[in-house]
A and B are shown apart, each in its own frame.
Chain A
């Protein structure tokens, strides 16, 4: 069965600092990987996705993520965090069979001045 682990429940970073959110997945075949962001009171918005090809993927709002098969990881990064990035971030895994996405428990990001 597929599963996603986001080891950090809550992270606080200073505005302008770099960010890395961790995601580890468990899946037997090549996974489809996603990062979503949820602002308070809102639905989930896709930041980026990986299906195949280049293992470094670029997303919206200056985010990027790198797929590392050997580590079963898909960590999200941003070189300089803005206050508006404060939100909940979810990593998700799917597959080519169109089965539903499986989500991690999320990481809440706080940004301080």
Chain B
């Protein structure tokens, strides 16, 4: 397996634009997590899914953020409209049903100017 795949690796956008981050989890994994990493706050959980169903989105900072998982092999995190304070590295991770570690993607570095 190629691991968790995220795209794009880097995104630079202007304030007010819509941004869509993409994630392909490891095949067979039942859980998918979106994290945001910043210097100030470290790794924050934004939302997670179990079998494509959102379980906890309490970490999503504002209504400008939304996430979907239309099928077991794909998830998106959308920010609309984007703001400079959204600049961060966004990680997607997946995990199997049996208690195991989470496997992380390479992350998307988002810069909003």
Q: Which A residues contact B (CB, under 8 angstroms)? A: 32, 34, 36, 41-46, 49, 51, 90, 94, 96, 98, 100-106
Closest to A90 in B: B43
CB pair B101–A49 under 8 Å, yes or no, is yes
CB pair A100–B105 under 8 Å, yes or no, is no
Alpha-carbon distance between A96 and B97 when the two chains are bound, in angstroms = 11
Q: Which B residues contact A (CB, under 8 angstroms)? A: 4, 31, 33, 42-43, 45, 48, 50, 56, 91, 93, 95, 97, 99, 101-107, 109
Looking at chain B's contact residues, is the secondary structure mostly helix, strand, loop, or mixed? Answer: strand
Residue in A44, A94, A98, A106 whose CB lies within 8 Å of B91: A44
Alpha-carbon distance between A74 and B56 when the two chains are bound, in angstroms = 27
CB pair B102–A96 under 8 Å, yes or no, is no
Known: A43-B107, A44-B104. A98 touches B99 (CB 8 A): yes
User: What are 24 pairs between A and B in contact, CB < 8 Å?
Assistant: A32-B99, A42-B106, A42-B107, A43-B4, A43-B104, A43-B105, A43-B106, A44-B91, A44-B93, A44-B104, A46-B101, A94-B99, A98-B31, A98-B50, A98-B95, A98-B97, A98-B99, A100-B33, A101-B101, A101-B102, A102-B45, A105-B42, A106-B42, A106-B43
Closest to B106 in A: A43
Alpha-carbon distance between A94 and B48 when the two chains are bound, in angstroms = 14
CB pair A103–B95 under 8 Å, yes or no, is no
Alpha-carbon distance between A103 and B95 when the two chains are bound, in angstroms = 15
Of B56, B104, B105, most buried by chain A (CB within 10 Å of CB) is B104
Known: A43-B91, A44-B91, A98-B97. A103 touches B43 (CB 8 A): yes
Closest to B95 in A: A98
Known: A100-B45, A103-B42, A106-B42. A51 touches B104 (CB 8 A): no
Closest to A95 in B: B99
With a cutoff of 8 Å between Cβ atoms, the chain A residues found around residue B106 in the complex are 42-43
